[in-house]
Structure 1
């Protein structure tokens, strides 16, 4: 049962006093976050007969899935089941309507996906989609299941969480609302509720010896993708002259000993939805304070003859792209996000704004700067932002790509050893399969005086792997009624694979199913009967082994 209690309190300031309406809201399950995991969890809870409230700091639902990541990183699609598969089936059904193809005939779309067709008729799923379509699917889900979503509600991280006997009793938001429940889920990318509840977590890369991993820690000299400098490029304002000063976005710090741990995280960016279809194109805006010197390294990359600028303009329907980072200097804003996980809301807004400024300036630079090769520039000038996407945010994505932030240290820690099947994973509740993938972490100066990137890793898992229920729950002595399906308990490099949006949906559903069992059995999340949980998940189409 959901209970709403309203009380009025008097708040005083030095100038005036005002009546502020405070709400106390109760439900069986309280979910903090508006991500794809949050919505999957809410649907599972509601369909299982529990009252549930989604408390979302975001106005838009779906996180990165509706925030520009339409070229879905899926890995082996056969292991995506349950509500995650329902989501992609709903996308498929939408694109089988005439209304879906506003700017492009359906038969003209190339239907290219990652490993399978984008529109998979045999399995009735579609894995490639426009941002607004994904958001519509999430909105349809919460509407159909009558799920309460409180938007633009921000956790009071300093004083909002009330603990009692090792349980979260309630949490409050900055607006004055207080949410009480039996079980709580932190489904944010940042892990703010988890941290405020005093649960252990880690930020950064563990050293090689912490979990016995080959691909964790600093990875100088390891160059797995094309996101590195292939030619010798000077990092100095005057090439070859250290006294002239460093170019912007190059670190003077030592990158650290190979395999050592640090507190740095992989780069963030915005996944951009662009179009070259003129009726729907908005020219790239020139950002305020634009400084071409910020992109001098890009000019020097072009000077080497490198021509792969358009490599990651992945086609989604209606003449649009999901454009991701590619190359040594691209949309990834390397080294500018280290303090984001622990930062205040105000500081996070500054970091996000700086990323937006950087990325908009980069687009403007390539489309307009005379140093850009003419063939690339003329082609770039045909592209722009999509007029019908992110219409309340200047056609710019509303969600920055938080590739990793905090990661819980819970009952069980997923590492590369489980993903590579070197060790058995206990109590599996879902599968992942994507490459262990970390984007660059830092841009540094090599001993020979030239610039290089570090941290970009891509290691195959050699087939799907199972994810442990223990990675969703805190240590029992820390919190007994919290589940964490996004900032899961895993090492940096293991999270590089787990962090894919379909997996978050899978883990969201599994976490909610466990929450329902914990309530029904009046037990802690750590003591949920795994065999019962597995039975429930399998019955609902989740693939667990």
Structure 2
């Protein structure tokens, strides 16, 4: 069946119903998941003159960018981007005319709409509500992929069981796994990694089990002081492995969600059906501890916000890693990473119920100050962003799941620019960013603490060297004896540490476009993806505008190290209305990820940064090498 625009309506309508017989679709390239990476991969295939179909497990497109994360939030170096990604990072969610929106003002609903415009422009069909069931392979190549009809529920959670197995079969010449879980690569029989490697395995200094953080002297037992009574919910015994040891744990997931107290837009956050206050007793004890430690009501309020709703990133809420307890559960991500669909559904719904239950607890427990209980009680989901899922984001933020065991493994050494790559498909730059993996009890003599483990952010957003590093083509292709017609631009080959830096949406988008170009070339040359003409491939990437090399002596990333920046440079980056001032919205667009810094520089609270204020800030930076840490601690 050749897919055309006319057949698309049939496919989308038919996807909502179970069928007795499987539908068979033939195409050149099948892309699994309509993530930003998958969408750009499909467009690249279409630009090359090949037919392509996207199969999306849910009812929505845009992945986590369509669910709350902003395009420029994890892009510390815009100059290191290229191809289709570069203009999209600054255009997604923006109005076509008039004032540009700040990062915080961008709506995931509009970002989803913008991705749909792209799909319509290139006439790329998307088959929704189907997830990979199995792959039929021959001679290490996928012949046909079978998909099960499995509609997500009304809150955007995936089901444990499908409605109809083997509902869709797609025969393609090349497949691209652009999902966050690596389910297609696993179904194809490719080897993969989950969990944390030991420090020894790849000689990575910060790998494996890490020292505990947020160590807090609160009683973890159901009956205070009685270990025999068992541990409270939300805390577990330590597995006893030493620092640097590998294990199966992985960093926390969470929703990136929106709240409001405005009755016009507020949607209720229902109390889970199985809610039990005792499941949140550790939260109550933590709140009581904070109340004892913080005599200043406003400082206490900030600490309570860190528990629920969390950390306000750019208007949407994220996990507050400086809090012992925050808005997502710990210690269950590993069950999702390589679990079956029932495991994944259970973990996803556990995040939903935990978030809703925690909100109810913070609004009702007597240990929470009355003023903050009242504040929480007035908050609900903001219905303007996810109206069709009762305010719940349709995508859980899966920071890491499976990672392909490919022909090249990205490690800590890549992040530190210690390795040379001759076959780049993208540049990456970010710190080694892992959210906590576990919450455990810690004993020191006769004292007992509760602490988190696995949280670190090495190098900050710009990374430990402030220099981009290349992502190898070999990292997005499997071993040739495992699959010869599969590309993996998201769950690519990396250690837990390497992936913790490279796992950013701009990198996935750039790698997705490169994967689409490679897929089209493999078809044209009738070769395995591992054997395409690399010189020709490099030429195609260059023609697409991909930025794949970085020379620190020539390339500039907008400031590095301790370099002093002047106001004239700031105006070039940010001043859109030529008034020789920088307002908050202009700052947000020109300095993505640094919205929190504007209020500090704007010393007179005028709503604008002038030359004198910016010079004063540069003096502060020169006198305080750890200025980021100092200022963020004051927030």
For the aligned pair, the TM-score class normalised by the smaller chain equals 0.7 to 0.9
Shift of 1:97: 5.0
Shift of 1:92: 5.5
Contact 1:313–1:324 under 8 Å retained in 2? yes
Alignment gaps of 5+ in structure 1 = 7-17, 99-105, 112-117, 119-126
Shift of 1:255: 4.3
Question: 2:487 maps to which residue?
Answer: 483
Distance of 2:504 and 2:137 partners within structure 1: 31
Paired residue secondary structure (1:447): strand
Question: 1:250 maps to which residue?
Answer: 235
Question: 1:122 maps to which residue?
Answer: none
Shift of 1:527: 1.5
> Does the alignment pair 1:268 with 2:287?
no
Question: 1:200 maps to which residue?
Answer: 191
Shift of 1:28: 1.0
Superposed, 1:147-226 pairs within 5 Å as 147-156=124-133, 160-174=134-148, 175-221=166-212, 223=213
Task: Give the direction of change, closer, same or farther, for the CA distance of 1:236–1:426 in structure 2 (3 Å limit).
Answer: farther
Task: Give the direction of change, closer, same or farther, for the CA distance of 1:443–1:539 in structure 2 (3 Å limit).
Answer: same
Distance of 1:486 and 1:348 partners within structure 2: 18
> Does the alignment pair 1:474 with 2:468?
no
Contact 1:272–1:324 under 8 Å retained in 2? no
Q: Which of 535, 538, 554 pairs up with 1:534? A: 538
Paired residue secondary structure (1:178): strand
Contact 1:325–1:332 under 8 Å retained in 2? no
Question: 2:110 maps to which residue?
Answer: 133
> Does the alignment pair 1:61 with 2:38?
no
Distance of 2:441 and 2:19 partners within structure 1: 58
CA-to-partner distance for each residue in 1:271-317, whole Å, 9 max, x for gaps?
1122244421224322222222222222222223354343654365x
Q: Which of 312, 327, 334 pairs up with 1:314? A: 312
Q: Which of 282, 304, 309 pairs up with 1:297? A: 282
> Does the alignment pair 1:369 with 2:373?
no
Question: 1:73 maps to which residue?
Answer: 74
Deviates more, 1:24-33 or 1:533-542: 533-542
Deviates more, 1:231-240 or 1:189-198: 231-240
Contact 2:328–2:354 under 8 Å retained in 1? no
Task: Give the direction of change, closer, same or farther, for the CA distance of 1:438–1:255 in structure 2 (3 Å limit).
Answer: farther
> Does the alignment pair 1:85 with 2:89?
no
Shift of 1:376: 3.2
Question: 1:102 maps to which residue?
Answer: none
Question: 2:515 maps to which residue?
Answer: 511
**CA RMSD after TM alignment:** 2.3
> Does the alignment pair 1:43 with 2:20?
no
Shift of 1:260: 0.7
Distance of 2:244 and 2:96 partners within structure 1: 46
Q: Which of 142, 164, 180 pairs up with 2:119? A: 142
CA-to-partner distance for each residue in 1:396-438, whole Å, 9 max, x for gaps?
1111121111111101000010111122233111111121111
Contact 1:70–1:322 under 8 Å retained in 2? no
Deviates more, 1:271-280 or 1:171-180: 271-280
Task: Give the direction of change, closer, same or farther, for the CA distance of 1:399–1:538 in structure 2 (3 Å limit).
Answer: same
Question: 2:431 maps to which residue?
Answer: 435
Shift of 1:19: 8.2
Q: Which of 244, 247, 261 pairs up with 1:259? A: 244
Task: Give the direction of change, closer, same or farther, for the CA distance of 1:176–1:282 in structure 2 (3 Å limit).
Answer: closer
> Does the alignment pair 1:455 with 2:454?
yes
Distance of 2:350 and 2:312 partners within structure 1: 25
Q: Quick check: which one's helix share is greater?
A: 2
Paired residue secondary structure (1:147): coil
Contact 2:85–2:510 under 8 Å retained in 1? yes
Question: 1:543 maps to which residue?
Answer: 547
Paired residue secondary structure (2:137): strand
Distance of 1:19 and 1:498 partners within structure 2: 40
Shift of 1:493: 0.9
Question: 1:11 maps to which residue?
Answer: none
Task: Give the direction of change, closer, same or farther, for the CA distance of 1:244–1:47 in structure 2 (3 Å limit).
Answer: same
Contact 1:274–1:323 under 8 Å retained in 2? no
Question: 1:492 maps to which residue?
Answer: 496
Distance of 1:389 and 1:280 partners within structure 2: 10
Q: Which of 298, 319, 330 pairs up with 1:324? A: 319
Shift of 1:179: 0.7
Q: Which of 389, 392, 402 pairs up with 1:393? A: 389
Paired residue secondary structure (1:29): strand
Contact 1:27–1:53 under 8 Å retained in 2? yes
Contact 1:255–1:444 under 8 Å retained in 2? no
CA-to-partner distance for each residue in 1:246-269, whole Å, 9 max, x for gaps?
110111242411111111121222
Task: Give the direction of change, closer, same or farther, for the CA distance of 1:2–1:255 in structure 2 (3 Å limit).
Answer: farther
Contact 2:93–2:108 under 8 Å retained in 1? no
Contact 1:431–1:543 under 8 Å retained in 2? yes
Shift of 1:68: 2.2
Paired residue secondary structure (1:358): helix
Question: 1:288 maps to which residue?
Answer: 273
CA-to-partner distance for each residue in 1:196-243, whole Å, 9 max, x for gaps?
11111011111111111011111124x4xxxx24x3222112333312
Distance of 2:50 and 2:131 partners within structure 1: 24
Q: Radius of gyration: which is bigger? A: 2
Q: How many residues are treated as equivalent by the alignment?
A: 497
Paired residue secondary structure (2:70): coil
